[in-house]
């Protein structure tokens, strides 16, 4: 281990906790690990959809990389020289693991220092997650959506490469699909609050959030946008797959019996997220599709690009204020 003074360690901790984005926080963690222990490599694995740790971020020779590890978590964990540290939630649920590989392996003193560093990291991660989550539903909040969308668009733009002056899409993740955003609004929600009271209205929002979480994957991003409005960003094969995914959500909500309230339906507007998209335009496209669904019977899914191609709506125009 590098010989570090107390001020230097404090400075590292300050650098570690300066980010508000969880993924950037993980990058800081890996860089701190590199400075402290000079490992051969370090990697973070998140608990995936099937409760199996899935590769997230790696560091080799001090450089953060997004390339996949050829080995699985189960293979790496048994490798000589690998030390594992669990990443915990505030409720002591395991969210993932940090693996550190070095020969010679970390000493007892280094493990203790790493454990203390993780106490700081876990506490800050808990505070950070609390600030990103809607208190009522447990979903990500509107502020988090605004903070993350620009970064998400940057990643989407990075999924395109120039070949002889032409844009062509390269593989993203484990497929060659696309990102789509769905805006979901509860039909006649004001009447639910008026007839049954706000406590039962809140119960509807909580149950709807659970249906959203059970419909989509852990890798999808689900936000409570405010009031009775939700936004979901998904990565699927194509436009048809996106429409089927949100249609499945619509049917699940329609078929669910809500306590006291009974039946509830939603209207959904979808748009594709392209590498040329801008946040205000994405929201405008989704809003137009949602408005079309609301004014054409409600309890339905409407796709902006399909409506535009069929001439059922006009192209979105950015306002002077946008």
* CA atoms of 126 and 123, how far apart (whole Å): 5
CA 244, 247, 248, 249 torsion-angle sign: positive
Sort 47 into a burial class: Cβ within 10 Å, 0-12 / 13-18 / 19+: middle
How far lies 204's CA from each of 76, 132, 201, 221, in Å? Answer: 44, 21, 5, 20
Give the N- to C-terminal CA distance of the chain in Å, as an integer.
Answer: 52
Helix H or strand E encompassing 152: helix 142-157
Residues 6+ apart with CB under 8 A from 316: 281, 284, 285, 288, 304
Residue with the two structure tokens 């189960």:
74
Residues taking part in catalysis: 228
Torsion of CA 117, 120, 125, 127, to 10 degrees: 180
Quote the radius of gyration of the chain (alpha carbons, Å). Answer: 23
* CA atoms of 269 and 119, how far apart (whole Å): 42
Closest CA to 180 of 246, 115, 136: 246
Residues 6+ apart with CB under 8 A from 126: 89, 90
* CA atoms of 131 and 244, how far apart (whole Å): 32
Phi and psi, residue 195, nearest 5°: -85, -40
């Amino acid at each position: 281990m590098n010989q570090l003074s107390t001020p230097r360690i404090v400075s590292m901790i300050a650098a570690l906790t300066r980010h508000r984005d969880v993924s950037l926080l993980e990058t800081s963690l890996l860089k701190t690990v590199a400075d402290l222990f000079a490992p051969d490599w370090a990697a973070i694995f998140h608990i995936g959809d099937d409760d199996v740790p899935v590769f997230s971020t790696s560091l080799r020779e001090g450089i953060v990389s997004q390339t996949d590890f050829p080995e699985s978590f189960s293979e790496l964990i048994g490798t000589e020289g690998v030390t594992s540290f669990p990443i915990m939630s505030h409720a002591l649920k395991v969210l993932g693991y940090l693996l550190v590989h070095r020969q010679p392996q970390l000493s007892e003193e280094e493990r203790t220092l790493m454990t203390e560093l993780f106490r700081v990291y876990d506490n800050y991660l808990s505070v950070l997650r609390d600030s990103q989550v809607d208190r009522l539903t447990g979903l990500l909040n509107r502020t988090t959506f605004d903070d993350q969308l620009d970064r998400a668009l940057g990643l989407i733009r990075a999924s395109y490469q120039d070949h002889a002056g032409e844009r062509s899409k390269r593989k993203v993740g484990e497929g060659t699909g696309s990102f789509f955003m769905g805006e979901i609004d509860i039909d006649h929600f004001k009447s639910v609050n008026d007839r049954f009271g706000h406590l039962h209205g809140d119960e509807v929002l909580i149950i709807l959030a659970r249906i959203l979480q059970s419909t989509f994957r852990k890798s999808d991003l689900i936000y409570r946008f405010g009031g009775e409005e939700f936004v979901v960003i998904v990565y699927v094969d194509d436009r048809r797959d996106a429409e089927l995914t949100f249609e499945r959500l619509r049917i699940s909500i329609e078929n669910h019996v809500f306590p006291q309230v009974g039946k509830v339906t939603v209207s959904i507007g979808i748009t594709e997220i392209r590498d040329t998209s801008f946040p205000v335009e994405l929201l405008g496209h989704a809003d137009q599709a949602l408005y079309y669904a609301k004014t054409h019977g409600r309890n339905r899914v409407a796709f902006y690009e399909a409506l535009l191609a069929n001439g059922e709506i006009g192209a979105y125009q950015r306002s002077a204020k946008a």
